[in-house]
Amino acid sequence: MATWPSKIRTAANPKNLRTTGKLACALTLLFILTGCRPIPDLPAQETRAERLARAGAPEHLWAYQPDEPEYTAEGRPLFLTRALVGGTVYAGAPDGYIHALHLDTGERLWSFHAAANVHASPAQIGGAVFFGSADGSLYALDAASGELLWQHETESAAYRVIAEHDLVYFSTDGSVVYALDPVNGKEIWRGGIDIGGLVLRGGVGDAAYAVAGDKLYALDTASGELLWDYTGEDRLLGLQATEGFVYFTTYSQSFYALDAANGQAVWSFRTGGLVNATPVVVDGVIYLSSHDDHVYALDVKTGDELWRYNAGADIYFSPVVVDGVLYGGSIAGPLYAVDAKTGEEFWRFDSGLGVASTPAVVDGVVYFGTDWSLIFGVDSETGEKLWQYETDSGAMSFLTADEGVIYAFFYSGDVNAFLPNIEPVQ
């Protein structure tokens, strides 16, 4: 069992001891001058365990539920916009409405009606928020009022939106990537690639990345020109771009690192199962969650395996790394905490229901959701269960934390906000 990270204490030195001696003499003199009256005891400081013990379940601040949830042919709730962007919660509805919700109350600040569903998360620049719709339009709205600022129409459904370099980028199912002026919607460029199913996946630095099947394309963000393309051995899945590298996974269970400057493969790594969770990069280490029951830690530059951890069940969600500890969970297994440097296990907690979200860690508590409407709170250092809370919102999609408030997003389109019932560590 690994030793939990502890704070470093500075060793005493002669100068400190001399200072301490002088202080002791002064206190003795004070004791004599005050008539030998005893100095009252200071109140005992509450321990971390005591603070957590009295915390209890969080306060349920508010819940948002769409009026008429829409379901797929398989009976699963349709994935609609649910995002926390720029200090506002945005929620989409099956009838094409976008609702902006107040962070503190969940009340609708405004609603905007598009001609079709909005599936992807919005982007924001300054006071404007941008949505792509299945009606083929990119909408620019005033983030405060929901007023339409401008609308850019295309012939195909508009999906993923990215705001970077003072431009707004989005892709359509017509295999075109657009770059627009965020102020007036003027088209700066469009990058047409003669291949179907092109989807914008992300942008870092001077490149925007789009994926179609087994191909990855890097487009110049200033001109839209193709910088390079790369053909993988199978369909591409999760993509992450950072620190001069572009990382992606494939259906063939391989993980690749490309040089962001030229698209050349630098290294590859093969797991024993599918990796569909977004890779996590922290302090020169990249963490992969695999369907082969393992979390892998790789060196970002060389791809060398630093360690692997057996979670005991398939892992569908990305982990989170906080203060040198990696927290994650498997859909049919436990929540776990391991040393992010060594992979040694600190603890496991098994709710009996699996973990259906990337965990959120706030003030010493690990929050996670299950597929049975339950949210759990677990001590981040010991793995002990603190509480559980039942919602009315079904299967969870993900959790996120913002300024100490926990927001839970559900496949049904529901959003719940919780205020942790615990004081922050000072």
Q: What is the CATH number of the domain that holds 370?
A: 2.40.128.630
pLDDT at 136: 87
Residues 120, 231, 225: CA angle, nearest 5 degrees: 65
Q: Is 344 a domain residue?
A: yes
Q: Is residue 68, in this structure, part of any structural domain at all? A: yes
Residue 418, domain member (yes or no) = yes
Residue 220 belongs to some domain of the structure: no
Q: Which two tokens stand for residue 92?
A: 């989409």
Do the domain assignments include residue 222? no
10 Å CB burial of residue 196 (0-12, 13-18, 19+) is exposed
pTM above 0.85, yes or no: no
**Neighbouring residues of 206: CB distance < 8 A, sequence distance ≥ 6:** 220, 221, 222
* Residue 69 falls inside a structural domain: yes
Query: How much is the pLDDT for 186?
Result: 95
Q: What is the pLDDT of residue 23?
A: 44
| pLDDT value, residue 91 | 83
Q: How many helices (H) and strands (E) does the chain have?
A: 2, 36
Write down the pLDDT at residue 19. 44
**419 within a domain of the structure (yes/no):** yes
Taking CB atoms within 8 Å and a gap of at least 24, the contacts of 321-324 are 321/280, 321/282, 321/287, 322/361, 322/380, 323/5, 324/5
Range of the domain at 371: 48-78+320-426
**Strand-by-strand arrangement of the 128-132 sheet:** 123-125, 128-132, 137-142, 148-153
Residue 395 resides in a domain? yes
Q: Return the pLDDT at 32.
A: 40
Q: How many domains does the chain have?
A: 1
Give the pLDDT confidence score for residue 98 in this predicted structure.
Answer: 86
Q: What is the pLDDT along the chain (426 residues), one digit of tens a residue?
A: 676 764 333 333 433 434 444 444 444 444 444 444 455 554 456 777 777 777 677 888 998 887 665 555 555 545 566 788 888 888 877 677 888 998 888 899 999 998 888 877 888 998 999 998 888 899 999 999 999 999 999 888 887 888 887 889 888 876 788 899 999 999 998 876 666 666 777 776 788 888 888 888 898 888 888 899 999 888 887 788 887 899 988 888 889 999 999 999 999 999 998 888 888 999 999 999 999 999 999 999 999 999 999 998 889 889 999 999 999 998 888 999 999 999 999 999 998 888 888 899 988 899 998 877 888 999 999 999 998 888 887 777 778 888 778 888 887 778 889 888 776 555
Please report the pLDDT score of residue 346 as a whole number.
97
Which residue carries 């250092």 as its tokens? 381
Can you give the pLDDT at residue 172? Answer: 81
